[in-house]
Structure 1
Amino acid sequence: MRLVVLSSAILVSASAYDRRASFTKSNGQTAKALAAKFKTLTVNSPCTDGENVCLNNGDFAKCSNGKFVATPCGAGLKCEVLPLVNSAGTSVTCDTPADDSACLSATGAKRTTLELAHRAVTAPPACKSTNKRSTGISIAKRIGQIDLPAVAQSWQDLCLKSGGDITTNTPCITLAGMNGINALLVNAGACDQQKNADAMVDFAKSKHSRNALNTNGITPSTPYCEQAPRNPELNGIVNTQLQGVDPGIFSVPGGGTVPFGDPSSCPFGQKPDVSTCTCK
């Protein structure tokens, strides 16, 4: 009989322990999530009347009339989110970091996604003085500019006008509206922006004859300007001929067509050599 009673007591105790362990772990996870959330709060953050929080500087704060009223903790203490022991829930109070850590560890709660997102890292002292980088890591979208679609569209339009393929998405639509935007998203790789920028520069440096004038099946070269520039910085800078154009024929709309040998068939300051079809 005693054995049966003892066994029943053990079963009842184990059942109660299981229920307690269940809410204990949940309390720990909730406490960790709230602590991670509170790391983003300042005394100027929006709030709901009556809520108690910890501010990112370690102060305890209560929301009153839509504003946080901060109360510094005592020496050696800081505002912590503690899991309740005997019931479900958490408590926001001043405590020692060591006690907080011990209470959370006892719950068996694992790191939450939000906590991982707000883990602090230590930046080198020289970086802190620049005020250009955050010492915290947070998962958030990298971009917030409302003009990005317009910027991508403008590059795409310029790409098409400069000779990009008009029958497929490559490279104009791919580099601008697709890869260009995707490279700025939170899940993009560290080198995605650079790779896309390199691809844009590669395209800009390439030569395309699609938009060159086609006359009777001939795509002529573009005549060179035969006037000296006003600014010396422009000396020696001339238009580059597109790939696929006829090197022996030069023409512009409304300007007539001339063969190589005309002064406009060579950059300003050079003379055409018809025997070699080169400029000297």
Structure 2
Amino acid sequence: MPTENEVGNRILQHLQAALRSPDAAAANIAAAVREIDDEGLLMASLSLRQVMGPEHQGMVLRIPGLRRITKRHLWKAVAEGNVSQAQLHQQIPWVEPPAGIYVNSRTGWTIVHEAVERGHSGAMLTLVAQLMGSDSVNKKTRTGLTPAHVAASKRDTLALMALANLGADLSVLAADRLELRELQKQASEAPEPPEPLEQARLMLATLDPSALDQPKLDTMQIDLATTKTTLETASERVQREVMRRELAVPRAEERPCAICLDRPPNVTFVPCGHKMTCEQCAAEVRECPGCRAPIQHRQRT
């Protein structure tokens, strides 16, 4: 992989002629970067402030495909916990980051959700929150999950504390817990069963007096305490399973395009048979992103 200086010199050479002709600058820039691979183009965008002035940075940032490359690099860095690579994105001089860089537009899952899900509660979580903005710690997915919900489902107290320090509203957890209990209660056609201790009182009231010897009573109280703990644990497991299913990895047919990470895949590559990309992105690749087999034909499915 070339160094930053090498890429800087190379991109300046490629773009010099394009930048001199404003009437066709965008088309010329797109043509000039065709020989630069994804890694080189990404590195060039990350070092724009060093290699060219503000008047030309905007032209380069509009290069087709740069948004896709940038998004893939950032999400990979977050997933792997690579803070140094994620920090490079602070250097890109976006006037306003393109829609979808920090969020999956299909699910609403953000890089802050991803950082918490991957167990990052330190520098990485702080960094992605800074990239997205202060309100990112309260962003909800399409199903209403905030990063705090993700941390709670993993019992990650460090992440919850970090989110609170970054301005997250943790009261949503208590509100949703009450709502879940109410829904569970309404969904049940049978009346609520009595509490374990109330059951004990009913049992004791109907027992023969001789059954109330202290040893037997002590044993009964221990059994009741164990039953109550078991019921509480089961309730927690049910609530955790509800949250886990919300956070489950999408099924294969629900996964987004492997390139843009937004649109659903609707093109099958021939001869390998893989269905991994949308129609727009399929037109940009010559090899299957999954197996690298040459593409002879693209079949919309």
TM-score range, shorter-chain basis?
under 0.3
Which one has the bigger strand percentage?
1
Q: Which has the higher helix share?
A: 2
Please identify the structure whose Cα radius of gyration is greater. 1
Q: TM-score, normalised by structure 2?
A: 0.20
